[in-house]
């Protein structure tokens, strides 16, 4: 009797220990939540919906996009970091998570330690755009105007500590001008105020800026990419416009809470890479100004490490290094 009870206990403990492996093998058996830190219509939202829809077909379970905007996507990041490490709650991490960490001493998470990388998804350049009423047609003219009106011109960003915020501050330092920062919770509301002339300019993601440029409602002055963007070949880069080595892009990558089983990560990675290899997905992304990325988790981890060093140096150069 006692021997039977002990054997039963051993079997029960073995079953408990084996649960994570069993779940990994059956994954996914329910819908997956894909959390973004910016509002609907933002670049993060566009990436999540296009790639997530294709992943749903591969995984056989729906990938549900959920928006939790605020604090430059830090609130969403903290929410996902504390979620169960089972692959059912994912996060669209961005370069802004790293720029935020570079200037915010009170951030309650470490991107590299609190998340397990799955794969980079997309990247797109920033576009320096102004309201037509500003009356400038080049970066040089914008700089001259800003120098003549120190502290009078305003710029929108998608939140404190984000790539657009840090990049514009770096631009102002390099150009020796003084601009006033007006933060928003994402690109849609920021662009809305730029269109209304309530702010003077914005270094914004191409997916939300370019439609208004093409419609004549905004004036694009330059892109932040190293080479001219494929969707705007006549638009000079910031380097060509007189700011050598000025390069900034916003990337979006898929991550899951640290401790997620590798078998689950591998399934997610395979589904995401299959989506990014699809001609339909690539076409939809490029139509919005994105370039698809993809790759293995370990390579993404090394990329994040390099980006962390890069943006920490940029924050220091812009005088925004956290104390």
* Cis amide bond preceding 215, omega within 30: no
For 162-197, write each residue's pLDDT tens digit.
889 999 998 998 899 999 999 998 888 999 999 999
Topology (CATH) of 125-223: D-Maltodextrin-Binding Protein; domain 2 (3.40.190)
Geometric angle at alpha carbon 281, from 276 and 284, rounded to 5°: 135
CA-to-CA distance for 157 and 166, rounded, in angstroms?
A: 9
Please state, in angstroms and rounded to a whole number, the distance separating the CA atoms of residues 267 and 27: 8
The separation between CA 182 and the C-alpha centre of its own chain, rounded to angstroms, equals 20
* Two domains, one topology: 31-123+249-317 and 125-223: yes
Helices (H), 221-296: 262-276, 279-287
pLDDT on residue 2 = 41
Predicted confidence (pLDDT) per residue in 44-84, tens digit? 999 999 999 999 999 999 999 999 998 888 999 999 999 99
Domain range annotation of the chain = 31-123+249-317, 125-223
Per the CB < 8 A criterion, the answer to whether 258 and 85 are in contact is: yes
Q: What is the pLDDT of residue 154?
A: 97
Average pLDDT score over the chain: 89
Mapped onto helix, strand or coil, the DSSP state of residue 107 is: coil
Residue 14, pLDDT above cutoff 90: no
Give the per-residue pLDDT at 147: 97
> Over the stretch 16-48, which tens digit does the pLDDT of each residue have?
444 344 456 789 999 999 999 999 999 999 999
CB 76 within 8 A of CB 69: yes
Helix, strand or coil, per DSSP, at residue 294: coil
Confidence of residue 9 (pLDDT cuts 50, 70, 90): very low
116, 110 in Cβ contact below 8 A? no
Report pLDDT for 209: 94
Q: Nearest to residue 122, comparing CAs of 236, 275, 308, 264?
A: 275
Q: Is the pLDDT of residue 220 over 80?
A: yes
Is the pLDDT at 116 greater than 80, yes or no? yes
Q: How confident is the model at residue 225 (pLDDT cuts 50, 70, 90)?
A: confident
Q: Which CATH number fits domain 31-123+249-317: 3.40.30.10, 3.40.190.150, 3.60.15.10, 3.30.360.10?
A: 3.40.190.150
Query: What percentage of the chain carries pLDDT values higher than 70?
Result: 92
Position 7 pLDDT exceeds 80: no
The 8-class DSSP code of residue 72 comes to G
Pairing of strands 63-67, 32-36: parallel
List, in order, residues 6 or more apart from 210 with CB less than 8 Å away.
127, 220, 231, 232, 289
**How far apart are alpha carbons 222 and 245 in whole angstroms?**
14
Stated length of the chain:
323
DSSP 225-242: SSS--TT-TTSPBTTTTT
């Amino acid at each position: 009797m006692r021997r039977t009870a002990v054997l039963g206990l051993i079997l029960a403990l073995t079953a408990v220990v084996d649960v994570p492996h069993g779940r990994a093998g059956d994954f996914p058996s329910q819908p997956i939540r894909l959390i973004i830190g910016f509002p609907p219509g933002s670049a993060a939202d566009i990436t999540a919906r296009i790639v997530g829809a294709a992943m749903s077909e591969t995984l056989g379970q729906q990938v549900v996009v959920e928006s939790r905007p605020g604090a430059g996507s830090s609130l969403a990041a903290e929410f996902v970091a504390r979620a169960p490490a089972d692959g059912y709650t994912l996060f669209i991490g961005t370069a802004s998570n790293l720029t935020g960490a570079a200037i915010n001493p009170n951030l309650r998470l470490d991107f590299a330690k609190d998340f397990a990388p799955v794969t980079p998804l997309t990247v797109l350049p920033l576009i320096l755009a102004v309201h037509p009423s500003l009356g400038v047609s080049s970066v040089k003219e914008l700089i001259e105007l800003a120098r003549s009106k120190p502290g009078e011109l305003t710029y929108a960003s998608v939140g404190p500590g984000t790539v657009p915020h840090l990049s514009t501050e770096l631009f102002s330092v390099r150009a020796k001008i003084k601009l006033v920062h007006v933060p928003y919770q994402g690109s849609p509301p920021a662009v809305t105020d730029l269109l209304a002339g309530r702010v003077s300019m914005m270094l914004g993601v191409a997916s939300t800026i370019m439609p208004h440029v093409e419609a004549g409602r905004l004036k694009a002055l330059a892109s932040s990419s190293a080479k001219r963007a494929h969707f705007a070949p006549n638009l000079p880069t910031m380097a060509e416009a007189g700011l050598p080595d000025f390069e900034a892009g916003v990337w979006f990558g898929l991550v899951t809470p640290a401790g997620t089983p590798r078998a689950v990560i591998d399934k997610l990675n395979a589904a995401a890479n299959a989506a990014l290899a699809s001609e339909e997905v690539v076409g939809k992304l490029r139509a919005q100004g994105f370039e698809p990325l993809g790759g293995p988790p370990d390579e993404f981890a090394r990329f994040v490490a390099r980006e962390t060093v890069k943006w920490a140096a940029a924050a220091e150069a812009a005088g925004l290094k956290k104390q």
